[in-house]
Amino acid sequence: MVELEVFEQCLRILAEGTRLSLETLSVLCVLVGLLATLRRTSMMRRQLRHSSDLPFTKIRLGFGAWLSLALEFQLGADIVATTTTPNTVNLIQLGVVALIRTFLNFFLAREMEMEHRMETQARSAQDNTPT
């Protein structure tokens, strides 16, 4: 029985370290995404000096991809937390993160597909214009 308690304690320590690592990665993804978005916005602003229109959709989709990755890590952290201490709060938190991640990924994928189609159409129209 003592061996089982030692094993459970080691498992809890391992799970806690894993959860903390995943949550740290989640926060880092949001931070890196923010910095990448600010950098991209700054570069686009310099490139489009004469235009006040920034390609808002591209900027937003880029940041959305980082948020989606952060939610993946957060979901992993919540799964680990729920596995080691399955209480109502952890289960609700896991469900909410999974729901948010699912919706974000669904709409992000749809918008990226639409953006890709629009770029392809614009490129085709450019290639077909007489010079």
Q: Residue 103: which residues within 8 A CB-CB, separation 6 or more?
A: none
Task: Convert the pLDDT of each residue in 94-126 to its tens digit.
Answer: 888 888 888 888 888 888 888 878 878 877 877
pLDDT per position as a tens digit, 2-59? 888 898 899 889 999 999 999 999 999 999 999 999 999 888 888 777 666 667 778 8
How many whole angstroms separate alpha carbon 107 and alpha carbon 34?
20
Phi then psi for residue 130, to 5 deg, are -70, 145
Q: Which residues contact 67 (CB under 8 A, 6 or more apart)?
A: 29, 30, 33, 104
pTM: 0.75
Distance of CA 79 to the CA centre of its chain: 17
User: 46: how many CB neighbours lie within 10 A of its CB?
Assistant: 8
What gap in Å lies between CA 36 and CA 70, rounded to an integer? 14
Look at residue 3 and give its three-state secondary structure.
helix
